[in-house]
Amino acid sequence: IRAWLREQLVEKYPGVEFDILTPPDEKMGDYSVNLAFALAKRDKRSPLEVAQGIADSFSGSEYFEKVQVAKPGFVNFFLKTAFLQGELERIYKDKAYGISNVGKGKKVIVEYSSPNIAKPMHIGHLRSTIIGDALANIFEAQGYDVVRWNYIGDWGTQFGKLIAAYKRWHDDEAFQKNPIQEMLRLYVKFHEELSTAPELEKEGQEEFRKLESGDAESRAIWEKFREMSLREFGQMYQQLGISLFQDAVVRGESDYEKDLQPLVDDLVKRGIAVQSEGALIIKLEQFGLPPALIRKSDGATLYLTREIASLNHRIAEYKPDKILYVVANQQALHFEQLFAVAKMLKFDSAELTHVKFGMVLGEDGKKLATREGKTVPLQEVMDKIIALAYETVKQKNPELSEEQAKEIAHTVGIGALKYNDLKELRISDIKFNWKAMLDLTGDSGPYLQYTYARLASVVRKAGQEKLVPDISLLEHPQERRLMRHLLDLPDVIERSAQTYTTNGIALYLYELASITSSYYEAVRILDDDESADGKKRRDARLLLVETVMAVLERGLGLLGINVLGRI
């Protein structure tokens, strides 16, 4: 209805910016429009006079009980209760409520996570993985053909160093037991040894040269690094409830190695890349950017070179309408340069967007790190939140078996981790307040899951036998608030897709849970008199409860969070 109202106003008053607001007090209506102020300024008229004209244009509407003007010039719309009741029945029956065909026939590539092989995933990968997955879900709900893209860092001179270290010092037993940690140990040892054995630098360069030239031994060792890394990443994604291997395109920088020389030759031939002190650069002054380095003076290509080759491949093979790069704020210059080069190369068939996000901070507001100042491993973070969730679950339900408690703790812990991120504006830094993340009464994932579980308990108690409910008997103010709030889900999802954000969906779900909790406390859902109307009203309330549950589950599913019938 909000979208319909906007369409009507745009049609009647084209070319004017305005907002459709939700008033803080229900006495002020279900929607409030500030259009009159802009029209009054343009036409040099009184806002109240203009507002009255807008209100009069909706006289006799089938949706609104009344449309009122409020000082100094707002137009307030009050929905008919009968309309809300009819919409509740429609939403209850619509198993795909909130899902649209806005993106039908369009394709979007969402690149996210993108860890580097031979290194453990760390806290820095968390936001990209969680935000990217949620955005992919949101675009799917809008009808887009979504290609989930995991662009693995698996190439560069560091792998020559790692191969050299492997040949000198690797431990087969340690490698089998924990390959990522063993690779990390070897890489650190290589750099520690450099201080007393500087010849190792050339040894690492030679190993990478051999890898680039296709040396069988070097290639076999590198493929071992890649295979074992991807296996561990897969386990990490499985714990997070994210299908970034099964349902995604997994490409590495190495996949574009063969494309680099033809790409560079073409850039030089077209005069886009030019020599500068022995290196090749692309001048970007016209975009207000520093030059982009695509080949160093020693002939080595760079990450940006491979990005250009990858972009060319994505556009040629997948023909997307949009490509989203879900990558941290710190890479802003890199993507500004990439998009500028794309314009020069006429890669204009797809809309390119850098979906930026801030850092992960500790409770002290500083970058989350270990005591030694190192980046915190992602596994460590997941283990901690699940362990804390387990304590909460056992405290609330000591009768649960160990297996049940662990299963619930995993779902609650991962849900807390995701929601803590996705409820925030993505460009902002987020804080890790472990206690707040698991708060069953605050703005948290567990609070939403707990709300769902309480409603599930009500439905279980009601049993299976139900009469045909009479929706017209839902007259309690809290019931009206719930019915009104349910209407907004499609608009919230569409807005999230337009802005590449998730916090709007999180806020919508939190408000829905809060209204539901107030309703739960104010109305004894299953208790009514034994009259025919009493039984029908009880079943109408159950229909409302089941509808709220379905919307909570759908909205949380978009954020990658599972619901539970019991916590």
Catalytic residues: 119, 122, 125
Polymer length of the chain: 567
**Do residues 213 and 207 touch, judged by C-beta distance below 8 A?**
no
**Do residues 362 and 390 touch, judged by C-beta distance below 8 A?**
no
Secondary structure (DSSP) of 106-122: -EEEEE---PBTTS--B
Rounded to whole angstroms, the Cα distance separating 1 from 31 reads 10
Crossing angle of helices 503-522 and 532-558, in 10° steps, is: 160
Residue with tokens 């996570």: 113
- End-to-end, the C-alpha distance of the chain in Å comes to 35
Residue 230 belongs to what H/E stretch?
helix 216-240
**Token digits of residue 152:** 């693995």
Query: Could you give the C-alpha distances from 493 to 29, 328, 366, 558, in angstroms and in order?
Result: 23, 23, 33, 9
Rounded to whole angstroms, the Cα distance separating 516 from 186 reads 54
CA atoms within 13 A on the CB side of 483: 26
**Do residues 474 and 540 touch, judged by C-beta distance below 8 A?**
yes
Query: Could you give the C-alpha distances from 53 to 6, 22, 57, in angstroms and in order?
Result: 16, 21, 6
Which of these, 469, 484, 558, 478, lies nearest to 522 by C-alpha position?
Answer: 478
Rounded to whole angstroms, the Cα distance separating 386 from 241 reads 14
Query: Could you give the C-alpha distances from 80 to 1, 20, 74, 533, 551, in angstroms and in order?
Result: 12, 18, 19, 22, 22
CA 243 to chain centre: 14
Rounded to whole angstroms, the Cα distance separating 339 from 308 reads 9
**Do residues 422 and 559 touch, judged by C-beta distance below 8 A?**
yes
**Do residues 448 and 431 touch, judged by C-beta distance below 8 A?**
no
3-state class (DSSP) for residue 129? helix
Rounded to whole angstroms, the Cα distance separating 395 from 227 reads 41
**Do residues 111 and 565 touch, judged by C-beta distance below 8 A?**
no
Pairing of strands 322-326, 107-111: parallel
Rg (CA), the chain: 28
Rounded to whole angstroms, the Cα distance separating 206 from 211 reads 9
**Do residues 526 and 465 touch, judged by C-beta distance below 8 A?**
no
Rounded to whole angstroms, the Cα distance separating 391 from 326 reads 34
Rounded to whole angstroms, the Cα distance separating 475 from 540 reads 11
